[in-house]
Amino acid sequence: MIIEIVSFQMPTGFSNGDLLDDARSVADHWRSNPDLIRKHFVKNTEGEVAGIYVWPNKEAALKAHDSDWIARFKSRTGNTPNFAYWDMFMLIDNEAGKVSEFPLDD
């Protein structure tokens, strides 16, 4: 299991409402991806925006964020995204009331 963080600066001239509208415009796309486990849309106080994705593996993340996706993203936002990948080895899910472990490859 991996976490992929795709981050970028909030597009010039975007309001928080514009940001939410943009997220809504891609929700169906992400809901239809059978590999995507979960996606969080987040923004910090410095104007950095990120998508935090939970994938079964890095290959699924790379497949979803291919060169065509990057080109569409740049066209939509005017920004180039940054990608970071993290191996997830434990998840504490208080909402579901469980703890899950995911073995790491040595």
pLDDT grade for 89, boundaries at 50, 70 and 90: very high
- Is 66 domain-assigned? yes
Residue 24 has pLDDT above 80, yes or no: yes
- Is 106 domain-assigned? no
Number of domains in the chain: 1
pLDDT for residue 105: 80
CATH of the domain at 56: 3.30.70.100
What is the number of helices (H) and of strands (E) in the chain? 3, 6
- Is 21 domain-assigned? yes
pLDDT for residue 77: 87
- Is 14 domain-assigned? yes
28-61 pLDDT, tens per residue? Answer: 999 999 999 999 999 999 999 999 999 999 999 9
- Is 45 domain-assigned? yes
- Is 82 domain-assigned? yes
Mean pLDDT estimate for the chain:
94
CA distance 36 to 2: 11
- Is 55 domain-assigned? yes
Residue 80, token pair as written in the block: 């180039």
Domain that holds residue 83: 2-101
